[in-house]
C-alpha cells in the first residue's frame, strides 16, 4: 500500500452583504466578451473588474507546473497559456486566481473550475484538478481562496471578515466570472459548458457554488464535502475530546491494526468477496469491546478507556440523550495510512488542529483560546450564528436544478476525515427539499476509498467524463468503473501506475454484487443491485 502524503491528505479537507455587493461589480459574461486576444501574452492587457492580470505565459508540454516557490511541480500534460490575476473585491480582499487555456485546437470548448482544500492559502490543490482538466482539453480555473497560508492555518481569518467571505464562497465565484471573461477573450468560439469539481473543502465549495451561484456552472462534482462546515468543526472537536480527553483514552498507532483486523474478520466476507474491503460498513455490527484486555494493558488488546474511544469514534457525536448530532467513522481501514492515525488518533491528529484553528481564530477571535475552553453546548451555537450563513451550503439547490444543473456526489466509505454518512444525509435532504433532485443528482459511495484519494479498494474513477456525458444529453450515470492500482496516488496524479483490477461503482443506494463466477478483479462480473 502506497503511503498517503500527510500534507496532501490534510490539504484536501483539507461582511456577506458587502461582499455580495462587490461581486455584483463584475459584469456578466455576455457583456465582457471581446475579440480574440490573438496571443497568450496579450491577455495581460485585458481589463478586468476590481483586479489585474499580472502575467500570461505559455507553458510547454512536460514543463513543471510550480505553484509554490521552491517546491517541485508536476509536468504539464499539454501546452497551455497560464494566466495569473489578483482580484481585490473589497479593501481587505486579495484573491489570487489562475486560468489555464489549452492551445486553440486542443480546447474542447468547456471550462473546469477546481476546488481548493483545507483552509486553502495556495493554488497547489486546485492545480491538481486543473492539470487533469488540461489533459482532457478543458480550460481550467482555481483560486487560493483569498489568503496566503498553509492549509491547516486559520490565523489569516483573525478579525478579517472579508477574507472569511472570500474563503466561504466568494473566491470561487470570482474565479468563475474571470475565467469566463478570459475564455471569451482568448478563443473565437463561445463557451459550450462549465463544470466544477472539488473534494473535501472543495466539495463544500462545490455545493456553495450550486446553492449561492447557480449560474456559474452547468454541472458540478462534489466529493466528500466538508459541509456544513460549522457543524463539522463541532464534530471534529468532539472527536478530539473523545480521543485525547484523558491520557489513558489515547489509542496507540500500533493498536489500530487490532481494530482493523477484527472488523475485517467480522464483516469483510459479508458482501460475497473477501478482499479487505467492506462494501457497506454501516452493516458491520463490530464492537471493539471484543478486544478489551482481560486485565491491565497489553499489545494485543485494548484497555477499557481505549475501547470507549473507539466506540465514540464509530458512533459519532451525540447529545446528552444519545441522539446523533454528527455521524461517526466506519470500521475496516483503521490502520490504513492516511486514515485514523492522520485524522483521529495520532499524536498530530488533524481533527483537533482544524477545529482548534476554527474556534480560536474565527469563532472566538482569540489567539490564546485552547480546546480546554470549549463549551460543547454554547460554542457550536455561536459558530453557527456567526458563520453558517457564510461557510455552510444548504440543501436548497432549487435554482441550480431549475436551470438544468446536474450534480454528482461521491464519498469513500473509508474516509476518516469527513464521515461518509454525512454525504448520504445531505443527498437525502436534497431529495426531501426538491423534486428535481432525484433526477438531477447521483451519489456514488466508494468502497475502500479513503479521504478523496487512496485506500485499499478500486478508488480510481472518472466522474468528470460521466458528468460531461450526462450534461450533453446522455442518461444519468447509474454506474462508473473504478480501478484498483498498485500506486493509487500516482494514478490520481495521472502518473504511471499498474492497474490491478476493476469494480463498478453503483449509484446509491445500489451496491455492486459479484455474480458468483469469473474474476473478482473484473467489473464485468458484478451487477449493481438494490441492497438487501
Q: Do 279 and 292 belong to one domain?
A: yes
8-state DSSP, 508: T
Same domain, 267 and 367: yes
Catalytic residue among 239, 415, 450, 468: 415
Answer yes or no: is 257 within a domain.
yes
Q: Do 385 and 398 reside in the same domain of the chain?
A: no
DSSP output for 3-38: PPPHHHHHHHH--HHHHHHHHTTSPPGGGG--S--S
Q: Which of 403, 436, 456 is the last residue of a domain?
A: 456
Residue 249 lies in domain: 232-389
Whether 326 and 419 have beta carbons less than 8 Å apart is answered as: yes
Question: Which pLDDT tens digit goes with each residue over 132-170?
Answer: 999 999 999 999 999 999 878 999 999 999 999 999 999
Is residue 71 domain-shared with residue 118, that is, in the same domain? yes
Which CATH number belongs to the domain containing residue 108 in this structure?
3.40.50.1820
Please provide the average confidence, as pLDDT, over all residues in the chain: 92
The answer on 156 and 10 residing in a single domain is yes
At 321, the pLDDT band (50, 70, 90 cuts) reads confident
Catalytic residue at 169? no
Q: Are residues 175 and 263 in the same domain?
A: no
Instruction: Give the mean pLDDT of 503-516.
Output: 97
Question: Given a cut of 70, is residue 407 above it in pLDDT?
Answer: yes
Same domain, 221 and 237: no
Residue 122 lies in a domain: yes
495-519: burial string, b at 16+ Cβ within 10 Å, e else:
eebeeebbbbbbbbebbbbbeeeee
Residue 519 lies in a domain: no
**382 exposed, middle or buried (CB, 10 Å; 0-12, 13-18, 19+)?**
middle
The pLDDT, as a whole number, for residue 19 is: 34
My answer on whether 89 and 216 are in the same domain is yes
451 is catalytic: yes
Say how far apart CA 430 and CA 436 lie, in whole Å: 9
Task: Mark which of 440, 456, 472 sits at the end of a domain.
Answer: 456
Annotated active-site residue in 147, 169, 411, 451: 451
Cα distance between residue 371 and residue 357, in whole Å: 10
Say if residue 385 is in the same domain as residue 404.
no
Q: 381 and 276, same structural domain?
A: yes
Structural domain total, the chain: 2
Question: What is the C-alpha separation between 227 and 190, in angstroms, rounded?
Answer: 34
Q: Is residue 522 part of a domain?
A: no
pLDDT digits (tens, 9 = 90+) for 328-361: 999 999 999 999 999 999 999 999 999 999 999 9
Owner of C-alpha cell 500516482: 490
Instruction: Indicate whether 28 pLDDT > 90.
Output: no
- Assigned domain for 362 exists: yes
What pLDDT, in 10s, does the model give residues 360-398? 999 999 999 999 999 999 999 999 999 999 999 999 999
Note whether 116 and 89 are same-domain residues: yes
- Asked if 64 and 40 touch (Cβ cutoff 8 Å), the reply is no
Of 456, 475, 503, which residue is a domain's last?
456
Query: Residue 444 falls within a domain, yes or no?
Result: yes
Asked whether residue 378 is domain-assigned, the answer is yes
Please say if 415 is a catalytic residue.
yes
- Catalytic position from the list 185, 200, 440, 450: 200
Q: Are residues 133 and 271 in the same domain?
A: no
Q: Is residue 525 part of a domain?
A: no
pLDDT value at 410 more than 80:
yes
Amino acid at each position: 500500500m502506497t503511503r498517503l502524503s500527510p500534507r496532501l491528505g490534510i490539504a484536501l479537507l483539507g461582511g456577506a452583504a458587502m461582499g455580495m455587493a462587490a461581486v455584483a461589480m463584475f459584469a456578466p459574461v455576455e457583456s465582457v466578451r471581446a475579440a480574440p486576444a490573438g496571443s497568450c501574452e496579450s491577455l495581460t492587457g485585458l481589463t478586468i473588474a476590481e483586479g489585474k492580470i499580472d502575467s500570461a505565459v505559455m507553458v510547454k508540454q512536460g514543463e513543471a507546473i510550480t505553484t509554490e516557490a521552491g517546491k517541485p511541480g508536476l509536468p504539464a500534460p499539454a501546452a497551455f497559456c497560464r494566466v495569473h490575476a489578483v482580484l481585490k473585491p473589497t479593501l481587505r480582499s486579495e484573491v489570487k486566481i489562475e486560468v489555464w487555456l489549452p492551445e486553440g485546437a486542443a480546447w474542447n470548448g468547456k471550462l473546469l473550475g477546481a476546488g481548493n482544500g483545507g483552509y486553502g492559502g495556495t493554488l497547489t490543490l486546485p492545480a491538481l484538478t486543473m492539470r487533469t482538466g488540461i489533459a482532457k482539453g478543458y480550460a481550467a480555473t482555481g483560486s487560493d481562496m483569498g489568503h496566503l497560508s498553509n492549509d491547516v492555518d486559520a490565523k489569516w481569518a483573525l478579525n478579517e471578515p472579508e477574507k472569511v467571505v472570500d474563503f466561504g464562497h466568494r473566491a470561487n465565484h470570482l474565479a468563475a466570472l474571470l475565467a469566463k471573461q478570459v475564455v471569451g477573450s482568448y478563443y473565437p468560439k463561445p463557451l459550450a459548458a462549465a463544470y466544477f469539481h472539488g473534494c473535501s473543502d472543495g466539495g463544500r465549495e462545490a455545493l456553495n457554488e450550486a446553492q449561492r451561484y447557480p449560474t456559474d456552472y452547468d454541472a458540478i462534482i462534489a466529493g466528500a464535502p466538508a459541509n456544513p462546515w460549522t457543524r463539522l468543526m463541532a464534530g471534529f472537536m468532539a472527536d478530539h475530546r473523545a480521543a485525547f480527553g484523558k491520557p489513558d483514552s489515547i489509542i496507540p498507532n500500533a493498536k489500530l491494526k487490532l481494530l482493523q483486523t477484527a472488523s475485517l474478520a467480522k464483516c469483510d466476507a459479508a458482501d460475497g468477496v473477501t478482499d479487505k474491503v467492506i462494501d457497506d460498513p454501516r452493516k458491520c455490527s463490530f464492537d471493539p469491546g471484543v478486544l478489551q484486555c482481560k486485565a491491565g494493558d497489553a499489545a494485543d488488546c485494548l484497555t477499557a478507556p481505549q475501547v470507549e474511544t473507539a466506540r465514540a469514534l464509530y458512533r459519532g457525536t451525540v447529545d446528552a440523550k444519545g441522539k446523533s448530532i454528527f455521524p461517526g467513522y466506519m470500521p475496516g481501514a483503521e490502520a490504513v495510512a492516511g486514515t485514523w492515525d492522520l485524522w483521529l488518533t495520532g499524536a498530530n491528529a488533524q481533527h483537533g488542529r482544524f477545529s482548534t484553528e476554527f474556534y480560536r481564530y474565527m469563532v472566538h477571535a482569540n489567539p490564546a483560546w485552547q480546546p480546554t475552553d470549549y463549551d460543547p453546548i454554547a460554542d457550536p451555537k455561536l459558530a453557527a450564528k456567526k458563520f453558517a450563513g457564510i461557510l455552510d451550503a444548504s440543501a436548497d439547490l432549487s435554482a441550480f436544478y431549475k436551470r438544468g444543473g446536474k450534480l454528482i456526489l461521491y464519498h469513500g466509505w473509508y474516509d476518516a476525515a469527513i464521515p461518509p454518512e454525512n454525504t448520504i444525509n445531505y443527498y437525502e435532504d436534497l431529495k426531501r427539499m426538491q423534486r428535481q433532485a432525484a433526477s438531477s443528482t447521483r451519489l456514488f459511495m466508494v468502497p475502500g476509498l479513503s479521504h478523496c484519494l487512496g485506500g485499499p479498494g478500486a478508488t480510481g474513477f472518472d466522474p468528470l467524463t460521466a458528468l460531461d456525458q450526462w450534461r450533453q444529453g446522455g442518461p444519468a450515470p447509474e454506474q462508473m468503473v473504478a480501478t484498483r492500482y498498485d500506486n493509487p496516488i500516482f494514478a490520481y496524479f495521472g502518473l504511471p501506475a499498474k492497474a490491478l483490477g476493476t469494480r463498478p461503482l453503483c449509484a446509491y443506494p445500489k451496491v455492486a454484487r459479484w455474480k458468483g463466477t469469473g474474476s473478482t478483479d473484473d467489473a464485468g462480473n458484478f451487477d449493481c443491485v438494490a441492497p438487501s
